[in-house]
Structure 1
Amino acid sequence: MLKNSLLIFLLFIFSLVDVTGQDFVNRDHTYLPSIRTVQLYIPGLQNIPAFAQLRQSGGSSNGFLGTNLLTALDSFVRDPSNPADYNPEVFYRDREGRFGTSSNYQQGGTLRLSFDDLATEARYLYYRFEHCNADWSKSDLEDFEFLSSINEQRIKNYEFSFNTRIPYVHYWVNFPNEDQTWTKSGNYLVHVYDSDTNEPILTRRLVVFEEEVSINAQLIRPFLVEDINTHHEISFEVDFTNTELKDILNNISATIIQNGRWDHAIIYQKPTHYAGNTIFFENLGAYKFPAGKEFRHFDIRSFDYPTRQVLEVSKEINGTEIKLVPDQPRGTSKFWSDRDLNGSFFIQSLDNYDSPVAADYAHILFSLQTPQPLLDEDVYIFGAFTNWELNDQYMMHYEDRYSAYFGEATLKQGVYDYLYAAVPRDKSYIDFDRLEGNWHETENFYTILVYYRPFGQRYDRLIGVQAISQK
């Protein structure tokens, strides 16, 4: 059991592992095309817009806790000794291992993993956790060393969709629960699989951390002149007054993430120096990210009346088709400020009572107008609903007669953020600059994670996390 409080939120992963005889990837991923709308969130709060920000009482700009309740990116379990300082969305684990909230929120104390299977029959599903190192390789810990009970657990909760044109089965499970909880901090993968067919269903990541250190982070003027108008740069320091750390320059490392995306995270950064009880990360020019622009977004909470970015709704017996307003490239366009979800999405139906099984699915048609196709590059729809990965089902196709790229997605009623990515045929990198552009005034969330692994320890402890916003 952890000495101090645990903090939970969602992150992102990469590489291959073998679990229960299946190949699982170490990133947020769905293995079957019928699996949709995978979310990890605080029960009861999944429909709160992700652009909400939490500020510590009387805090400065560094006190912003970037909240993405839709993906649980910064859903915290905080220290109960200071409960009045935080909003109801912030959770803690006390020294007896009990979970609760700082404001006695009725649904509090857990995260919920939920997803839909576009099918008419329920599956017999199980899940298991995998403990990982800071670089998301499998740690040396055995199951009994990081879990309170047996690893393999059944997903007992499911419900069939009600009065929807596209039928589906909705599954959910809460963490921690009466059957199982974590006993070590660090990076975790949760793998879901079908016990009858042995098929992998999905992989999702979450992180459990101890609040052993405090992190003071700020966005600074980029070190390189050519980055001033297009990039964000971060400087931060770590205060370890309340804990003992050994061989700091070798045993401490940090990772920085923009908007919860692990595909371009800055990982395994070592301190530049330390003095007294403060560790400094001051490698100028090293901790920078392209600023991007505010995410594009659309609102499909209703199929009965026009909503944002929707051009046309066509209802058929076997489903609903929605055409979005055609998009234009923004690479050279001027910046405009617009509240977004930092790439995420939330689920809500305005046509029926708001329930996970009353919201319907629709086939969404995207279009991006360009005079001619990109040379030697493909275009992908990209965002949290694509698992932040290049998926062939979200690759767009160019049609000369319309001078536009077209792409499709089957999505549940809600609000969604997205971008268009230009990708070389070998998928060696993702280029957002050509179709989206970068501007320093763009609002982003940055999350800093600090790991500690002293000599002889067999896993990376996550001893501190801080999230800051550009605005």
Structure 2
Amino acid sequence: MPIKLKQIFLFVLTPFICFSQVEEVNPPDYIKTINFKGNTPETQLPILKLGEYLVLEFDALNGKEEDYYYKIDYFNYDWTPSILIKSEFLDGFDNQRIRNYENSYNTYQIYSNYKLTIPNQFTKGLRVSGNYLLSVYNNDDQLVFSRKFMIYEDNVSVGVNIKRARDIQFIEEKQRVEIVIASNSLQLNNPNQTVKAVIVQNNNLKTALTNIKPQYTVGNQLIYKYDNETSFYGGNEYFYFENKDIRAANTGIQYIDLQDLYHNYLYTNITRANRPYTYNPDINGNYVILNIDADDPSIEADYVWMHFSLEVTEATEAIKGKNIHVYGNFNNYTIDESTKMDYDEQNQVYRNSMLLKQGFYNYKYVLVNNDNTINEGAISGNFWQTENNYKVLVYYRDLGARYDKIIGVGEGSSVNISN
């Protein structure tokens, strides 16, 4: 290729390389139970106030007591790389070894539990609000996994109200999020360009609605009363199980078996898409690690083979032979081979076995299309009555500024949904 053509090719290609959205990297099989701990007992998407501490935990099941290192990077509101250099968003140093780890105690499955707290001796804190990616590397500087988290400032109040959809086609299936942003002390210049809202349903960043601009302004308030632009399918309440006592069948568990490890067999679930909605309290897809009579579940909770099963009936013949997966925050809403269910033709049941740490878990079954898009309602159904959690993050980049702040966070629940 002539030099001139090569330069043109690189010029055209560079923006796609430099400004592509960053994606989280999923861990290998021997890394389990990656969770951020904040101010709530269950594990969920970490959205922390500037100055609050962050705790990342994960287990390594290979029994090698390997060293792991962490790096922190900063991103724009759309998860493209920021132009800020590390010293502008990080106080101290990253690329440090995770020094705090303990081996499991009194468990059938041997593992090492690693815990990273920020701020720490080397990483004093994070200087600015916005989007962050925490990446964990091994001794060979190979990326093991990465996770996103957000830091916000409390500069504006964010009101979140959940309504039924206005579109008659989706009035029984969708929920609409209305937002009011009030900026009493902060002057929001040219909000149509500088303010962007992101709506997250049930702590799942993969289904978030992004880059939502204000519909209109009243005084110091930005009003969002869209229909389609801020609507989510309601889905259904999550199934759940609890196995904090490893030696007995608990909530959702039909029977247990002890082989090399404990095996828990869940009751066979049914499809709910063609059934009436039934309220069933859940924790919106999250999970909590716990076990009975233990001081520290992080190292005393054991790993159990969980056996999931989903019945296929005449009313649900349409899903037979399709790609069905187990879905939830226990693996960051990831769809891969470990979550795929196999069809048992003889018993007309989908089955899956998964190694999970003791605790209380929410899960549901989803259909994955050939183009890898996820249909959450094909098996669970979509109902406007479903209790869902919504978080709204407000990003602001003032005219001439070099990064996107998160200036406020609002939260709402559809438990009191109205027309």
* TM surpasses 0.5: yes
Task: Pick closer, same or farther for the CA change 1:351–1:305 going to 2, 3 Å.
Answer: farther
What residue identity is the alignment partner of 1:449?
L
Contact 2:73 2:134 in 1 (8 A): yes
Contact 1:41 1:72 in 2 (8 A): no
Query: Among residues 157, 176, 190, which one is paired with 2:119 in the alignment?
Result: 176
Contact 2:136 2:146 in 1 (8 A): yes
What residue identity is the alignment partner of 2:353?
E
**Residue aligning to 1:223:** 166
Confirm whether residue 190 of structure 1 aligns to residue 153 of structure 2.
Answer: no
**Residue aligning to 2:94:** 151
What residue identity is the alignment partner of 1:357?
I
Contact 2:209 2:230 in 1 (8 A): yes
Identity %: 27
In 2, distance between residues paired with 1:241 and 1:351?
49
In 1, distance between residues paired with 2:323 and 2:112?
33
Give unmatched runs, 5+ long, in structure 1: 1-15, 19-23, 49-68, 78-91, 94-108
C-alpha displacement of 1:249: 1.3
Query: Among residues 78, 82, 103, which one is paired with 1:135 in the alignment?
Result: 78
Secondary structure at the residue paired with 2:232? Answer: strand
**Residue aligning to 2:285:** 343
Secondary structure at the residue paired with 1:456? Answer: coil
Confirm whether residue 364 of structure 1 aligns to residue 306 of structure 2.
Answer: yes
Aligned pairs for 1:205-224 within 5 A: 205-224=148-167
In 2, distance between residues paired with 1:17 and 1:179?
31
In 1, distance between residues paired with 2:350 and 2:320?
13
Contact 1:303 1:351 in 2 (8 A): no
1:190-226 per-residue CA deviation (whole Å, 9 max, x = no partner) reads 00110x2222222111111111111122112311112
In 1, distance between residues paired with 2:17 and 2:351?
35
In 2, distance between residues paired with 1:329 and 1:17?
43
Contact 1:25 1:203 in 2 (8 A): no
Contact 1:40 1:113 in 2 (8 A): yes
Query: Among residues 235, 258, 263, which one is paired with 1:321 in the alignment?
Result: 263
1:421-457 per-residue CA deviation (whole Å, 9 max, x = no partner) reads 1111231x11122210011111111011111112322
**Residue aligning to 1:166:** 109
Contact 1:252 1:453 in 2 (8 A): yes
Contact 1:148 1:182 in 2 (8 A): yes
Task: Pick closer, same or farther for the CA change 1:446–1:283 going to 2, 3 Å.
Answer: same
What residue identity is the alignment partner of 1:186?
G
C-alpha displacement of 1:293: 0.9
**Residue aligning to 1:12:** none
**Residue aligning to 1:240:** 183
In 2, distance between residues paired with 1:354 and 1:402?
41
**Residue aligning to 2:65:** 122
Query: Among residues 300, 306, 309, which one is paired with 2:243 in the alignment?
Result: 300
Contact 1:39 1:113 in 2 (8 A): yes
C-alpha displacement of 1:72: 5.2
**Residue aligning to 1:51:** none
In 1, distance between residues paired with 2:172 and 2:136?
43
Task: Pick closer, same or farther for the CA change 1:304–1:376 going to 2, 3 Å.
Answer: closer
**Residue aligning to 1:3:** none
Q: CA RMSD in A?
A: 2.0
Secondary structure at the residue paired with 1:434? Answer: helix
Query: Among residues 409, 412, 419, which one is paired with 1:465 in the alignment?
Result: 409
Secondary structure at the residue paired with 1:26? Answer: coil
Secondary structure at the residue paired with 2:407? Answer: strand
1:328-350 per-residue CA deviation (whole Å, 9 max, x = no partner) reads 11111121112111001010111
In 1, distance between residues paired with 2:189 and 2:83?
21
In 2, distance between residues paired with 1:441 and 1:177?
44
In 2, distance between residues paired with 1:25 and 1:358?
35
In 1, distance between residues paired with 2:119 and 2:45?
14
**Residue aligning to 1:446:** 390
- When structure 1 is superposed on structure 2, of 365-374 and 386-395 the one drifting more is 365-374
In 1, distance between residues paired with 2:17 and 2:311?
40
Query: Among residues 381, 387, 397, which one is paired with 2:326 in the alignment?
Result: 381
Secondary structure at the residue paired with 1:286? Answer: helix
**Residue aligning to 2:340:** 395
Confirm whether residue 355 of structure 1 aligns to residue 297 of structure 2.
Answer: yes
TM-score, scaled relative to structure 2: 0.89
TM-score, scaled relative to structure 1: 0.80
Task: Pick closer, same or farther for the CA change 1:334–1:354 going to 2, 3 Å.
Answer: farther
C-alpha displacement of 1:402: 1.2
Contact 1:191 1:204 in 2 (8 A): yes
Confirm whether residue 39 of structure 1 aligns to residue 35 of structure 2.
Answer: yes
What residue identity is the alignment partner of 1:224?
D
1:144-188 per-residue CA deviation (whole Å, 9 max, x = no partner) reads 110011231221000111121111010001122232210011000
Contact 1:309 1:325 in 2 (8 A): yes
Secondary structure at the residue paired with 2:92? Answer: coil
In 2, distance between residues paired with 1:373 and 1:212?
50
Contact 1:376 1:424 in 2 (8 A): no
Task: Pick closer, same or farther for the CA change 1:299–1:449 going to 2, 3 Å.
Answer: same
Secondary structure at the residue paired with 2:346? Answer: helix
1:8-28 per-residue CA deviation (whole Å, 9 max, x = no partner) reads xxxxxxxx999xxxxx9623x
Secondary structure at the residue paired with 2:88? Answer: helix
1:295-352 per-residue CA deviation (whole Å, 9 max, x = no partner) reads 0011111121220111121112x21111111111111112111211100101011154
Give unmatched runs, 5+ long, in structure 2: 1-15
In 2, distance between residues paired with 1:406 and 1:355?
28
- When structure 1 is superposed on structure 2, of 408-417 and 383-392 the one drifting more is 383-392
**Residue aligning to 1:26:** 23
